[in-house]
Amino acid sequence: MLVYQGKLNTNTDYATEDEVITLTISGALEQGSPAVITGQWTVSYEGVSKENYTQAGTITTLEDDHIELYVDEDKYYWFIGTVSDEKIVLDMKSPDLEDYGHAELSLVYSDQ
């Protein structure tokens, strides 16, 4: 298991800066591994304060330093980014906003 944690900065009017985001990967960092993103919005798009969210799926692509999560998995959000050493940088996408946000995550736990 690998756990990465960081902050998400969005390009929305409701959840803008330093939103908590965590990526948990079951098993090794490899294509096909289960991956769960969790976080908390300061305020959700519905106006709910401190609303939690979770999205589960897989690492759909991992080639060299390029990573994709949930691409073509019928999820509302998907992520595309880079992996280096103990960091993952992700761009968050959605059907309504191609450039939804940007997150930088650091490895905080590994049992490998």
Domains in the chain (CATH in brackets) are 2-110 (2.40.128.120)
The answer on pLDDT for 61 being more than 90 is yes
Report the distance separating Cα 71 and Cα 41, nearest Å.
22
Phi-psi region of 24 (alpha: psi -120 to 50; beta: other; left: phi over 0): beta
Q: What is the mean pLDDT of residues 1-22?
A: 90
* Prediction pTM value: 0.92
Mind giving me the DSSP string for 23-76? EEESSSSSTT-EEEEEEE-SB-TT--BT-EEEEEEEEEEEETTEEEESTTS--S
pLDDT of residue 46: 86
pLDDT of residue 87: 98
Mean residue pLDDT of the chain comes to: 93
pLDDT of residue 98: 82
pLDDT of residue 79: 95
